[in-house]
Amino acid sequence: MNKELLGGMILAISLLAHADDVPVAVAANFTVPMQKIAAEFEKETGHKAQLSFGATGKFYAQISNGAPFEVFLSADDETPARLESEKLAVAGTRFTYALGRLVLWSARENYVDGKGEVLARSEFQHLALANPKTAPYGAAGLDVLRKLGVLESVRPKLVQGENISQTYQFVGTGNAELGFVALSQVFRDGKIASGSAWIVPANLHEAIRQDAVILSKGQGKPAAAALMNYLKGEKARAIIRAFGYEF
């Protein structure tokens, strides 16, 4: 048998022997990047990341009530810090895996202008926004509306999504003419993939600093530690950058 083939088989068997599953709670805005990262992570380590996607605030409630997650990729930095202070996360494991960008997006071409002035014109009937109580991107959207001085005029037109994925669906299906979504949801190959958009200047809202942390149920688990290390590596970071995130 070819020595290289034999060596590859031995390595594969070794990986399988030590492979494990790691349940991961992932903020909805990070759905597609994390699916790609998880696939590469499994190829390289043999460990499988079992992904669940949703709103950060809802995950906090689930983790507080004993949900079996071992790693949490939040859409903010406050929730992981809070979990750490409550002894529900492992101290010293928290780090920022991405800086999120907010975008005002419409599935319609030429509907949203490059300065977001469409908000002041208020000619639309529905503006989608993720629940600001549980979704950091929704809270950021409210910040923008306040700073632009249009919150009260558009408030009757707000349509609230449970999380950023549902908000994207509202806009993508045309049930809302426009909405605040994560840049990662509409950004491909260095540009907005479809429709029209205004990438919101970062000074119009609180920074969307997205932190990851190992939860108490993941303490001492090799697969959880391996995933955190992988997220810090260049392959994962390249995927993250490709979706418009910063560091």
The CATH number of residue 168's host domain is 3.40.190.10
Q: Same domain, yes or no, for 18 and 93? A: yes
Mean pLDDT, rounded, for 29-56 = 97
- How does pLDDT run across 142-182, given as a tens digit for each residue? 999 999 999 999 999 999 999 999 999 999 999 999 999 99
Whether the pLDDT of residue 57 is over 90: the answer is: yes
Coil, helix or strand for 143?
helix
From residue 184, alpha-carbon distances to 34, 149, 245, 246 in Å are 11, 26, 7, 11
The domain in which residue 213 lies consists of 3-99+209-242
Position 142 in a domain: yes
Nearest to 26 by CA among 165, 133, 138: 165
If asked whether residues 143 and 220 sit together in one domain, one would say: no
Q: Are residues 122 and 188 in the same domain?
A: yes
Q: Please indicate, yes or no, whether residues 17 and 83 belong to a single structural domain of this protein.
A: yes
Asked if residue 112 lies in contact with residue 200, where contact means CB atoms within 8 angstroms, the answer is: no
User: Cα angle vertex 6, ends 21, 12, to 5°?
Assistant: 5
**117 assigned to some structural domain:** yes
Q: Is residue 247 part of a domain?
A: no
- Mean pLDDT, range 63-90, rounded to an integer: 98
Bridge partners, residue 51, by sequence? 24
Residue 183: inside a domain, yes or no? yes
Neighbours of 43 (CB within 10 A): 9
Residue 140: is its pLDDT beyond 90?
A: yes
Same domain, 110 and 94: no
Residue-level pLDDT at 15: 46
- Domain check: are 68 and 155 in the same one? no
Give percent of the chain with pLDDT exceeding 90: 90
DSSP state of 77: S
Backbone angles phi, psi at 136, to 5 degrees: -55, -35
Residues 114 and 172 grouped into a single domain: yes
3-state secondary structure (DSSP) of residue 28: helix
DSSP-derived secondary structure letter, 119: H
Residues 68, 22, single domain; the answer is yes
Same domain, 170 and 151: yes
Q: Which residues contact 176 (CB under 8 A, 6 or more apart)?
A: 124, 126, 127, 128, 159, 170
> For residue 40, is it within any domain?
yes
204 assigned to some structural domain: no
Assess whether 19 and 59 both reside in one domain.
yes
Count of H-run helices and E-run strands, the chain: 11, 12
Domain contains 22: yes
**Other Cβ atoms closer than 10 A to 113:** 14
pLDDT > 70 in the chain, percent: 93
Residue listed under structure tokens 């906090």: 60
Total of domains in the chain: 2
